[in-house]
Amino acid sequence: MTAIMLSTLKEAVRKKTFIVMGIITVLYLVLWNILLFFFMREVDSHGAMFRDMASHLLTTVGLNNSAMMIALLTVMLAAGAVSSDLETGVIHAMLSRPLARWEYILGKYLGFAAISCAYATALYAVVLGTASAFGLPTVTGLGFGQIAGGWMFFMLEPLVLICVTVFGSVGIRTVPNGILMIFVFILGYIGGMVEQVGNMINNRNVIGSGIFLSLVSPFHTLYNSAARILLPDMGLTGGMASIAGGMAGGGSPASVWMYLYTGVYALGFLLLAVWKFSKKDVV
């Protein structure tokens, strides 16, 4: 299993997808720093209320874009976790070793989890670190507990997403699986928007629709939890900024049951991947 994990790590790093995402990440961070520079240079001239709301909005946009980039990298790397090995025939050499099929799936999962968590940690640290260096008020006021809590939920999002993506790769070819997983991921963000609109108009049917979409795709719930830890309620300015931020921070705070459901959701898909692969004829 360890050999599969290390092999998956090396293969993922060598992929052009990883290199391209690295370039995109650098460009994103350059634009983020330019935005912070001009914001901090001009913000004081517009008054305290504008500063608070704009700072909240800017932080929300930075976190939201980072979460999306983490999810995109995760899906692009893991979409072919099993299917690419089946297509190239590499899987025959792997399974010829004294290796159980569940070890193969778990090794794949751990390999992608390691690289996704490393990327998520680095991006999270750089985004918050540069914002703190520029003196962004919403970031400079964060305590260690908030930063650690936000980081934990940022890490959980790709970990859950990999479970679903690996399951999809057992039965679906690489490209269709990647497209499907991106759609499923976006579905959770749509659910957050729908629930937010439902709360605004106080319509239970709309709220229920948003909750249903969040159950199908609970990834936004994890991001939303990170955002609520890092950006707690700031009264009127925070509410206006959350609305202006669109998908970020939508919906009500998740309950303990939702977190338990998300854990069962992730474990269930991983176990289904193991079961489905154990029944698959790879000869």
What would the pLDDT profile of 107-156 be if each residue is shown by its tens digit? 999 999 999 999 999 999 999 999 999 888 888 888 999 999 999 999 99
- The answer, yes or no, to whether residue 105 has pLDDT greater than 90, is yes
What is the DSSP secondary structure assignment for residue 89, as one 8-state letter? T
Whether the CB-CB separation of 42 and 126 falls below 8 Å is answered with no
pTM above 0.75, yes or no: yes
Closest listed residue to residue 143, CA positions, set 17, 62, 35, 230: 230
pLDDT for 91 equals: 82
How is residue 45 annotated by DSSP? G
Taking only the tens place, the pLDDT of each residue in 23-57 is 999 999 999 999 888 888 877 666 666 677 778 88
Angle, CA 74 vertex, CA 71 and CA 75 arms, to 5°: 85
